[in-house]
Chain A
Amino acid sequence: MRLGFSQAEEDFRAECADWLNAQMAGEFADIKGITTLTEKAERRKEWEQHLGANGWGCIGWPKEWGGRDATLAEQVIFAEEYARAGVPGRVNHIGIELAGPTLLALGTEEQKRRFLPDIAAGKTIFCQGFSEPGAGSDLASVRTKARLEGDEWVVEGQKIWTSLAHISDWIFVVARSEEGSKGPKGLTFLMMELGQPGIEIRPIRQINGDAEFNETFFDGARCPADSLIGAVGDGWRVAMTLLSFERGVSTLGQQMAFRNELDGIIAAAKANGTANDPLVRQRIARAEIGLQLMRYGALRMLSNTDHSKVDGAALTYKIQWATWRRNLGELAMDVLGQAAEVTDNPEYEWDMLPNLFLYSRADTIYGGTNQIQRNLIAERGLGMPREPRGDA
């Protein structure tokens, strides 16, 4: 057991940091420090293409598909340095972290050739179509329908919470392809091109005034018959494979962003004197400890190379960070006081800390609510009997 990285890995860290800092000081200085998902989206697409052109698009992927065959440690290091340099999050994170790995695992050679190089190059932006109104975390309740008409799938229905659909090129859709099927059976996983007739995207304005996710309506939208991943009716397994990629290396980069938020609170507390309040000191200490424990929890999770077994650290990570960050948002407001409740911006746009406070109410909901996560921990992690469920 050791904490540190090898000299070669530290050299790689320096290489990453040098390159990223040079970009953020130079050609892409105008996007440094952006913390929302939607700001300057077009410039950030250019940035993603620049990353791809320089071989930094998807470093963990195989070289033949535009990656670098980077080791897990190198991926961790890149994610950390990426966030440390103040580079905005990836508008294509669904493509890089979910669609790409799913194609690598379950796609045909032809599908890999078609999609992977363009995802790595930042040319194809993906979003995901899992959730539906009325389904929420209950993915088995999907009602969107897909039927085969000649050599095309025709899709009818509605998805919701499709993050960044309005700036994406493709969407993957889990749809019910077998009439009358229920629950996880009879679902098919389709890749569909956006911008076609029959797909309408309506942004949803959210609690902080931003609109990063959407309702997406399918009314006779089409894709070729071979657009599916896996087999017809095999969509549930594909979706579960995809979701298993969610506990990835990017958690380490996410923590650097959290570090910036906590540092913002520390600076504010020192500036306005609340850093002398014993209760504030206790809460900041707890936040610092929580952040460190997330980092070492993630390193433990990533060091456990046997990903086949149910790993306690991995199951708990979502609740850990979501709860930690929601508490951090509340701490930020307590440190800033009423000053946090006004902004000079007439467009209802908020600085990092008030925005954190508002945005973090989503953290304990998306990707499976904390309540669903607790069921998972108890049932999959501890082997508790399942809660009786409806007749799905």
Chain B
Amino acid sequence: MDFAFTDEQVMIAETARAFFTENATSERTRAAMAADGIDQALWQAFCQELGLSGIGIPEAAGGAGLGLVELAIIAEAAGAQVAALPLLGSLALCAQAIAAGGSAGQQEQYLPGLLSGEVIAGYVHDAALKADGDALTGEAGFVAHGGSAGLMVVTSNTGAWLVAADAPGVTVTPLTTMDQTRPFARVTLDGAQGEPLADPAAAIAAAHRAGFVTVAAEGLGVAQAALDRTVAYARERVQFGRPIGSFQAYKHRLADMVVEIEQARSAVYWAACAVDEGSDEAGLAVHAAKSFAADTAFKCAGDMIQLHGGIGFTWEHDAHLYFKRARALQSILGSGNWHREQVAAMILGEAA
């Protein structure tokens, strides 16, 4: 029984936190929002200088080894700054899919570009995708950072393919997206040529596990940062002759945020650990984590706005960045209700 970070994990967490706090500043994020939603310089620095992009990818496949616990640590730190990065699409979904389901040749060909940040990948899921041989026809409306992607990992419920973004039959339409730090694109495939991944089931399973954990960990980071920033404000802002943080109505709301966050923290690291250890609980844990932590992020970001009063409603304040990211975390990769229904099916059986 040792459900606490190892010394190495503590070090990774400190490094990641320092990196994102220093570099993923509000100014840079806002500059990225005005462009394609990616802080390109930050992404290059993350992939090439920090050396953490290969976390969760086996060393044999050119990664850094380690596991989802370490990936969660990174995602939490990135989430805390609402960093404008393709961490979810490129690394958690696509690189994981290729590492788990790609042949040795596919790993060799595609992973180095993703891990170095030279290629950004978008994860395209269309349950009703039509595959005529490997000619793919279908559409997905919400591909995170799809407008910047050079490579697509395309999945249906049964198959998984690699598709070059500039291949004939591929149309990518960037969309104006509420969360400007992770804009969506619509990807349309009209007989586009796909290269099948060697083991599609393994690819999809790995992408989902890592995706759910990463979204949950980002949510944890968002929630904690929303709390931390609100706590700082509660100390300095004086109303009726007292710091507002001394009012019980205010501090009880902060306390409720802490209660949710502590549970979300347990959820994220339970899920990451359960996947890394191949535990029987892994399926339950990733659905629990994704639904719970995304809800926690939304609650805390919403409270952040309320507890800041009018300033929290302005474009100038960062609260809306957290609020929009949190809402996006709730809907991406399956709603909370969908994830809870997966849990219900595990413990109650399918509904009649």
Answer whether A5 and B256 are a contact pair too, CB < 8 Å, given A375-B251, A385-B246, A386-B246. no
Kindly name the residue among B2, B245, B274 whose own CB sees the greatest number of chain A CB atoms within 10 A: B2
Answer whether A281 and B348 are a contact pair too, CB < 8 Å, given A76-B1, A292-B270. yes
Residues from chain B with Cβ under 8 Å of A300 in the complex: 3-4, 265-266, 269
Q: Which of B3, B288, B291 contacts A1 (CB 8 A)?
A: B3
Q: How far is the CB of A5 from chain B (nearest CB, A)?
A: 6
Contact A378 B251 (CB under 8 A): yes
List the 6 closest A-B pairs by CB distance, nearest first.
A378-B251, A374-B255, A285-B340, A385-B246, A281-B344, A377-B255
Consensus secondary structure, chain A interface? helix
Q: Which of B1, B277, B347 contacts A302 (CB 8 A)?
A: B1
By beta carbon, the residue of chain B nearest A387 is B248
Residues from chain A with Cβ under 8 Å of B341 in the complex: 278, 281-282, 285
Residues from chain A with Cβ under 8 Å of B231 in the complex: 382-384
Q: Which of A288, A296, A315 contacts B269 (CB 8 A)?
A: A296
Answer whether A312 and B258 are a contact pair too, CB < 8 Å, given A282-B337, A384-B245. yes
The range of chain B's interface size is 35 or more
Contact A296 B266 (CB under 8 A): yes
Q: How far is the CB of A380 from chain B (nearest CB, A)?
A: 10
Question: In B228-261, which residues have CB < 8 Å from any A CB?
Answer: 231, 234-235, 242-243, 245-248, 251-252, 254-256, 258-259, 261
Q: How far is the CB of B83 from chain A (nearest CB, A)?
A: 23
Contact B259 A1 (CB under 8 A): no
By beta carbon, the residue of chain A nearest B256 is A374
Q: Which of B243, B292, B337, B343 contacts A293 (CB 8 A)?
A: B292
Q: Is A276 an interface position by the 8 A CB rule?
A: yes
Contact A1 B9 (CB under 8 A): yes
Contact A2 B246 (CB under 8 A): no
Consensus secondary structure, chain B interface? helix
Question: In A310-344, which residues have CB < 8 Å from any B CB?
Answer: 312-313, 315-316, 319-320
- What would 18 A/B residue contacts be, using CB atoms closer than 8 Å? A1-B9, A2-B2, A3-B270, A281-B348, A282-B337, A282-B340, A282-B341, A284-B344, A293-B288, A302-B1, A313-B262, A319-B259, A378-B254, A383-B231, A384-B245, A384-B251, A385-B242, A387-B251
Question: In A361-392, which residues have CB < 8 Å from any B CB?
Answer: 371, 373-375, 377-379, 381-388
Contact A288 B343 (CB under 8 A): yes
Q: How far is the CA of A327 from the CA of B55 in the complex (A)?
A: 39
Q: How far is the CA of A286 from the CA of B274 in the complex (A)?
A: 19
Q: How far is the CB of B6 from chain A (nearest CB, A)?
A: 6
Q: Is A269 an interface position by the 8 A CB rule?
A: yes
Contact B4 A1 (CB under 8 A): yes
Residues from chain A with Cβ under 8 Å of B347 in the complex: 266, 284-285, 288
Kindly name the residue among A2, A276, A302 whose own CB sees the greatest number of chain B CB atoms within 10 A: A2
Answer whether A289 and B292 are a contact pair too, CB < 8 Å, given A320-B259, A374-B251, A385-B245. yes
- Other A-B pairs, 12, CB within 8 Å; known A278-B341, A300-B4: A1-B273, A76-B1, A275-B351, A282-B337, A288-B347, A293-B266, A296-B266, A296-B267, A300-B3, A320-B263, A378-B258, A382-B258
Q: How many A-B residue pairs have CB under 8 A?
A: 169
Q: How far is the CA of A72 from the CA of B4 in the complex (A)?
A: 14
Q: Which of B251, B256, B284 contacts A292 (CB 8 A)?
A: B284
Q: How far is the CB of B258 from chain A (nearest CB, A)?
A: 5
Residues from chain A with Cβ under 8 Å of B337 in the complex: 282
Contact B252 A2 (CB under 8 A): no
Q: How far is the CB of B144 from chain A (nearest CB, A)?
A: 25
Answer whether A3 and B3 are a contact pair too, CB < 8 Å, given A269-B348, A289-B343. yes
By beta carbon, the residue of chain B nearest A317 is B262
Q: Is A303 an interface position by the 8 A CB rule?
A: yes
Q: Is A9 an interface position by the 8 A CB rule?
A: yes
Contact A379 B251 (CB under 8 A): yes
